[in-house]
Structure 1
Amino acid sequence: MEFTSIPTDKWEWHPSPLPSQITLVTSRGADGALDLAPKSCLAVMAFDPLTVGFACNRGHTTYQNIVRTGEFVVNVLPEGLAPLAWAIIAFQGQERIDASGLTFLESKRVAVPRIAECTAHLECEFDDAVAFESGEAFVYGRVLAADILSEAVGAGERGYRLLDPCFYLDGGWAGMGAAKRPEA
């Protein structure tokens, strides 16, 4: 195999060697206003307690809400809704909520709602954020409650097809495809 050097600026990676899952993060402002934002670059930071994080610009409403109110929900976006993630970024605030056409459900442990059309939800309590010189931050929080599509529980590889996660790929997206396991 031959390899070619690429820049250390992720915006110049075509294709990206690090596809990342697309999610919709919900948060509330101090005034109670709901915010919805597509986010990728999501990671599990720790297993005990379960802690997840995602990249976010510190100037974005999502970041400001989470730091101020201490709560957010990561909603797993199914591939069929990926075009929506691109469509709603043209809007802000309540206009984005209205344009999404999504259904918001009360969460179990946080005041921020889950999204009914998403296939899994992680209700989180803000823990901390690591700020970078670029104006970005990696926001992370402890998962207080989690749920997934009931039909996916215990369904093995079929469960992943039901969750139908999608991944950001250089301005577009792809589904997960068939789940595979190593041969024994």
Structure 2
Amino acid sequence: MRREFNKAETSASAFYRLLTATVVPRPIAWVCSRSAAGVDNLAPHSFYTVASVNPPIIQFTSVGEKDTLRNIRATGEFTVNLAPEELFEQVNATGTAFTESISEFDAAGLTREPSLTVRAPRVGESPVALECRVHRILPMGDCTLVFGEVVHVAVSEEVLDGVHPRIDLLRPLSRLGLDEWGTMGQIRRIKRIRVDDWPGHFRP
């Protein structure tokens, strides 16, 4: 038996909580942007994914109007840093609504690492940084989708197996519902089934 939640009969906040508790786990874009005044902002955004392969474009959503969005509009660039399990408390701390004059790098005790292609810095403690330039900014209801073309990637050699980042060494955090966060947990591997390996009546 299911309980039904009709959008027209459910408050917006309750419907939002349903979505964020069931569209899980959500990867975290730990976004660094630099304001026109030169203040480095760092904030986690948990509506985040790859939007295009060629060109390589990532997308995250700003829920409401935040410093991240204002800075990116002003400068046209940003970095997305992987949020690893070992930095759980720092990632959470950078979600605090500080005034725009305060840098979350300083408040959370994190290290600025210069980027090679954009002005916004990387998080020195993060194993992966994507340097991005704005591809498109798209309003969507009370949110804004930010699409960034990835122009450079920096990966710590400590998490690489050749050129492949090892998930067991990256140990990414994810967001769940309410104040719940997810860690990597068990890794399972399975190969995609080729159509030729299906019984004949399932083949095209």
TM-score if structure 2 supplies the norm length? 0.80
SS in 2 for 1:53: strand
Equivalent AA in structure 2 for residue 12 of structure 1: L
Larger Cα-atom Rg: 2
Q: Is the Cα–Cα contact under 8 Å of residues 57 and 63 in structure 1 kept in the other structure?
A: no
Report how far residue 178 of structure 1 moved: 2.9
Once the two structures are aligned, what percentage of the paired residues are identical? 29
- 2:88 is aligned, of 82, 88, 99, to 82
Seen in structure 2, the aligned counterparts of structure 1 residues 146 and 158 have a Cα distance that, compared at 3 Å, is: closer
- Map residues 5-154 of structure 1 onto 2, 5 A cutoff: 5-6=4-5, 9-13=15-19, 15-92=21-98, 93=100, 94=102, 96-134=104-142, 136-154=143-161
What amino acid maps onto 2:131 in structure 1?
Answer: E
Range that drifts further, 25-34 or 149-158: 149-158
SS in 2 for 1:180: coil
Give the distance between the partners of 2:91 and 2:5, measured in 1 at CA. Answer: 28
Post-superposition shift, 1:156?
9.9
Q: Summarize deviations over 1:35-68 as a string: whole Å, max 9, x none.
A: 1111111110100110001010352110011111
Verify the 8 A CA contact 1:58 1:64 in the aligned structure 2.
no
Paired residues, what number? 182
Structure-2 separation of matches of 1:156 and 1:104: 24
Q: Is the 8 A contact 1:6 1:13 kept in 2?
A: no
| Residues 65 and 7 of structure 1: CA distance in aligned 2, closer, same or farther (over 3 Å) | farther
Long gaps (5+) in structure 2: 8-14, 194-204
In 1, Cα distance between the equivalents of 2:186 and 2:163?
11
Q: Is the 8 A contact 1:109 1:123 kept in 2?
A: yes
How far has the Cα of 1:22 moved from its partner?
A: 1.9
Alpha carbons 1:102, 1:115 under 8 Å: kept: yes
- Do 2:29 and 2:60's aligned partners in 1 also have CA atoms closer than 8 Å? no
1:164-175 aligned at under 5 Å gives the runs 164-170=171-177, 171-175=179-183
Aligned partner of residue 15 in structure 1, secondary structure = helix
Runs (4+) off by over 4 Å:
155-158
Provide TM-score, normalisation by structure 1: 0.87
- How far apart, CA to CA, are the structure 1 residues paired with 2:53 and 2:27? 19
Could you tell me how far apart the structure 2 residues matched to 1:61 and 1:54 are?
14
Instruction: Mark the CA change 1:11 to 1:122 in structure 2 (over 3 Å): closer, same or farther.
Output: same
Kindly report the root-mean-square deviation, in angstroms, between the aligned alpha carbons of the 2 structures: 2.4
Deviation at 1:30, TM superposition (A): 1.5
